[in-house]
Amino acid sequence: MASKPSLALKRRFKASPAQLFEAWTQPQKMIRWWGVTGHPKTPIAEADVKVGGRFRVQFHTPDGEHQSVSGVYREIVPERKLVFSWAWQSTPERESQVTVDFKPDGESTILTLTHEQFFDEKARDDHRRGWTLALDNLEKVFP
């Protein structure tokens, strides 16, 4: 059986692992970078950060399209690692998995995002663009 497409992105942030972990797990911080920034409709974020707990993020694209993604936390190592399922409301049958690793590096943190088990290469490429924009937004939170 052929393996499913995946992607990996690595970025250095001027923040501690604790600060980045909070940005990924606290709804009031998630909405500062998740989705499309600068859009008049504020994103909505929910997170029950425990193994088996769910998260959900909703936002609107610049053309007004509503987006909603959710998943279940599969592994949580505070300030070090998050693993969660990922499914868009529009295509719940296309569940994939995201792993976010936080590695301290002096006064910075190296964040590695791995997104696996994509339905196809187009989905992987679309997510690469989306995650790149999201990480750009997250970088602006920690100038």
Q: Is 26 a domain residue?
A: yes
Mean pLDDT by 10 residues, the chain (143 residues): 87 98 96 71 89 93 82 98 96 95 97 97 94 93 88
Q: Is the pTM of this model over 0.85?
A: yes
Q: Is 132 a domain residue?
A: yes
Q: Compute the distance between CA of residue 4 and CA of residue 63 in angstroms, rounded to an integer.
A: 30
The residues near 24 (Cβ < 8 Å, ≥ 6 apart) are 30, 82, 100
Report the CATH number at residue 22. Answer: 3.30.530.20
How many domains, in total, are found in the chain? 1
Q: Which residues span the domain enclosing 50?
A: 7-141
Q: Is 2 a domain residue?
A: no
Q: Compute the distance between CA of residue 94 and CA of residue 127 in angstroms, rounded to an integer.
A: 13
For residue 38 the two structure tokens come to: 């600068």
Q: Is 1 a domain residue?
A: no
Beta strand ranges found along the chain (DSSP E) = 7-13, 44-47, 54-60, 66-77, 81-88, 96-105, 108-116
Per-residue pLDDT, 1? 47
Q: Is 89 a domain residue?
A: yes
Per-residue pLDDT, 37? 59
